[in-house]
Homo-oligomer: A and B are copies of this chain.
């Protein structure tokens, strides 16, 4: 059996790790690397990341690569902005797995574009799916899977608590660490910081429970988590009263159920974990102590889902359409 040929598009930290993982995968073949950054052009994985396995050289344009079976996109968080790249993939008849947060449920913010790309993907005979750890797993897919063991579901609460000290600097920036509260609120108001994909998780979870929320009904919020005392962080010192992270929520109520998602990502946050509480005819409670570590899990999701995406029906798909994507 020939291994499917995989292109990894977008070689930021996640894309780079994903490419390294594909390169050593027993069932996938790394056959192209794409990134717009001129500094990466023509370089191999080993040149970008010492010790990485052999690979093709980076090309600047997806149109220039040869035929591939699967494209893993790690290029952006906004569905409309990656649409041109998705269409390049469709022209190549490549299945698409993307870390794009909005693509976890693309109809939430871009219903028309999602419908159009759905038709285009069906015409191209390939499936496209957004995945990751969050959105894509902890707050949506996993509670749906757990819920299959219950009837009469009424309430789902998912709590994800991340100690951001253990995470990359870009994530620490994204959650507002070291900012003043005023600065945080200004950036949050302009959607320049905060978690991407909360509304998508709420919707994906609700859809998995057979409900169909409208965008206006999905309520999200963001607030700063404030340091109670001076503390250190890789970005610099955080004085008491300054921001050490963020608290994001997503809610929806309808069709007899209520969904509450709570995400805390903060430097020095205690008791990191993923936790699901389902109220139903018989309640269910699930804990992942320490929580699912974001960066490595996103890479794993992309690679593992790439193996099963070919089994999905052509079209714009979600994690609710795919069979389980075990690790290999």
Which B residues touch A208, using CB under 8 A? 324, 326
A282 on the B face (CB < 8 A):
yes
> A305 touches which one: B142, B144, B148, B292 (CB < 8 A)?
B148
Please name all residues of chain B whose beta carbon is closer than 8 Å to the beta carbon of A321 when the two chains form the complex: 323
Residue contact A285 to B288, C-beta cutoff 8 Å: yes
Whether B280 and A284, one on each chain, are in contact in the complex, defined by CB atoms closer than 8 angstroms, is no
A325 touches which one: B148, B152, B297 (CB < 8 A)? B148
Query: Does A223 count as interface, using CB distance less than 8 angstroms?
Result: no
Q: Is the CB of B324 within 8 A of A151?
A: no
Question: A327 near B133 (CB under 8 angstroms)?
Answer: no
A interface residue count range (under 10 / 10 to 19 / 20 to 34 / 35 or more):
35 or more
Q: Are B297 and A150 in contact (CB under 8 A)?
A: yes
Q: How far is the CB of A317 from chain B (nearest CB, A)?
A: 9
- The answer to whether the Cβ of A210 comes within 8 Å of any Cβ in the partner chain is yes
On A, residues with C-beta under 8 Å from B are 21, 27, 133, 137, 141-142, 144-153, 208-210, 278, 280-282, 284-290, 292-293, 296-297, 299-301, 303-305, 307, 319-328
Q: What are 29 of the A-B contact pairs (CB < 8 Å)?
A: A137-B149, A141-B324, A144-B324, A147-B327, A148-B300, A148-B325, A148-B326, A148-B327, A149-B292, A149-B300, A149-B327, A151-B300, A153-B327, A153-B328, A209-B327, A209-B328, A210-B307, A210-B328, A278-B327, A281-B296, A282-B296, A282-B297, A284-B288, A284-B292, A285-B288, A286-B286, A287-B287, A320-B326, A322-B323
